[in-house]
Amino acid sequence: MRNNGALRSPLKNLRKDLYAVARDAEALLRATAEVTNDRVQEVRERTEKTVRAAMENLSNDQLRAQVRRVAETTDDYVRERPWAVIGAAAGVGLLIGLLLRRD
């Protein structure tokens, strides 16, 4: 990839944000530990599993490599076909504008 630094910074920020969300979720789980309502316990267990899986995925080198490959492929495609990408973006913008205009 030609502009590796431009991709690395947003990915680093995303990873930092996801870690913050996971830490906040863990804090929320600890804060609600005394609540014995069955529904709350069920939600706590699902949240614990989700946070655990998210933390494992964040540290997964294979996932990081896959994201990097997709970003590199996208970067190469945009650099090879800039007008096609601009046209597609303009078309999507036009469609969104038309849909928002309809009442």
Which of 43, 49, 54, 45 has the alpha carbon at shortest distance from 21? Answer: 54
The pLDDT value recorded for residue 80 is 92
Render pLDDT for 11-41 as a digit per residue (tens, 0 to 9): 677 777 777 777 777 777 777 677 677 777 7
Q: CA 103, CA 99: separation in Å to the nearest integer?
A: 8
Which of 19, 24, 12 has the alpha carbon at shortest distance from 71? Answer: 12
Render pLDDT for 40-61 as a digit per residue (tens, 0 to 9): 777 777 777 877 777 776 667 7
Residue 35 contacts residue 29 (beta carbons within 8 Å) = no
The pLDDT value recorded for residue 11 is 67
With helix as H, strand as E and coil as C, how does 12-53 read? HHHHHHHHHHHHHHHHHHHHCCCCCCHHHHHHHHHHHHHHHH
Render pLDDT for 53-93 as a digit per residue (tens, 0 to 9): 777 766 677 777 887 888 889 888 889 989 998 999 999 99
CA angle, 89 then 12 then 5, to 5°: 70
Mean pLDDT of the chain: 77
The pLDDT value recorded for residue 1 is 46
Prediction pTM value: 0.39
